[in-house]
Structure 1
Amino acid sequence: MDSAIDRIMHTYDLLANHTAAASAEARARVTDYVAKLFEAGEKDMHRLTVCGLTYLRELDGRNDPVKAGFTGL
């Protein structure tokens, strides 16, 4: 689980510039999320990584077209 979290954070930090405080907060949140997935039975590191990255992107609004400025025009 720790290697999945390290991989998530490494990839997430490459996607965008974050302050150290924002990165620490993201790590804490994704650690809780991945721990829940792990306890629920997900043991595949690759799936945990993808789920964790998706979770972080949803938190910061990158997956929301409205927050990203897409108007549909």
Structure 2
Amino acid sequence: MEAAIDRIMQTYDLLMNRTAAASAEARAKVTSYVTTLFEAGERDPHRLTVCGLTYLRELDGSSDPVKAGYTGL
């Protein structure tokens, strides 16, 4: 689980330009989220990594389909 969290943060830090405080806050949130997934039975580190990155991108709004131009038409 720790390896997945480290990988999530390394990748996310490459995508986003944030302060150390924002990075620490993101790490705390994703750790809680990944822990929940792990306790629910997810053990694949690659899947945990993808889920964690998706979670962080949803939190910061960078995966908003409307902002990306998808109108549903």
Q: One fold, TM greater than 0.5?
A: yes
Residues 15-71 of structure 1: CA deviation (Å, up to 9, x unaligned): 0111000000000000000000000000000000000000000000011134x3748
Structure 2 SS opposite 1:42: coil
Distance 1:71 1:45 in 2: 31
Matched residue, 2:27: 27
TM-score by length of 2: 0.90
Q: How many residues align?
A: 71
1:46 and 2:46 are equivalent in the alignment: yes
* Aligned residue in 1 for 2:57: 57
Aligned-residue CA RMSD in angstroms? Answer: 1.4
TM-score by length of 1: 0.90
Q: Unpaired runs of 5+ in structure 1?
A: none
Letter paired with 1:35: T
Q: AA paired with 2:16?
A: A
